[in-house]
Amino acid sequence: MMPHDSTHGIGTPFWIEALQPNVSEAIEFYSQLFGWTVEGLGEDDSVHVARLDGQRVAGIVQAPEAVPAGWLIHVRVDDIDRSIAESEAAGGSCLLPSLEQRSGGRVAILADPSGIPFCVNDDQSAEGVEVAGETNTWSMSSLHSPDARASQDFYGALFGWELHEVSGAPFSRWSLDGHTIGLLSDAGNAPSHWAINVAINDADTTAALVESLGGTVVLEPFDTESHRNVVIADPAGAVLACSAAVD
């Protein structure tokens, strides 16, 4: 299941990025965990792009002071200021005002009415992921929300996303222009968050490797109907879900 279509159109999640207090430590961890090759952008060495077999798969950037480590989705928009205003009008908030990008666009960190953060990016030249849904790449994003109706209203108003029930499943499906772009599930007793899911070959092997590299297994490997999953945290505490398809 892909996180987006290949056009990276307006309203589409098109990039994932880890905010890290120690970029070098994060690069070492993810390079060994997923086989990513990471390269710096610019002279300050605070922004890095991870590649798999030469193709862009994720970003690793220096977290602003006092901002905890975490993974964020980027959603493409056509105007940052309008997106901030529309978010606030729909009950959201702006956590980090818009920052100028090297190419002239801007990015901001917003939060939905439940306080769940995500990024908006109006840089139309910004390049998204080049490969997704393959082993060791982004496969899906899932919003774990304490209030599904409020989430539906907010993201529908902000991005035009439509929510569809999935028969017999504990989640609903977000779509935009007929393309699946994510999932929505009840957070239950877990913290509310946007879960970024990475495809892997083997959940048990990944869990063991994470611990050997200084990370943490947040949720031990478990089975669903179509996948064996594990939830991990890197050494700084940024959480990722990882899933291996089962035959």
List, for residues 207-229, the tens digit of each pLDDT value: 999 999 999 999 999 998 889 99
- Residue 139's identity, in one-letter code, is S
pLDDT computed for residue 103 by the predictor: 62
Reading the block at residue 159, the tokens are 């991005």
Which of the residues in the chain have pLDDT under 70? 1-7, 42-44, 101-104
Q: What is the dihedral of CA 30, 33, 34, 40, to 10 degrees?
A: 20
pLDDT computed for residue 179 by the predictor: 92
Annotated domain spans of the chain: 13-121, 138-245
pLDDT computed for residue 10 by the predictor: 93
- Burial of residue 1 (number of CB atoms within 10 Å: 0-12, 13-18, 19+): middle
Domains 13-121 and 138-245 share a fold: yes
What is the CATH architecture of 138-245?
Answer: Roll (3.10)
Q: Is the pTM of this model over 0.85?
A: yes
pLDDT computed for residue 76 by the predictor: 95
Q: What is the dihedral of CA 190, 194, 200, 205, to 10 degrees?
A: -30
Fold entry, domain 13-121:
2,3-Dihydroxybiphenyl 1,2-Dioxygenase; domain 1 (3.10.180)
The CA distance from 145 to 41, in Å, is 34
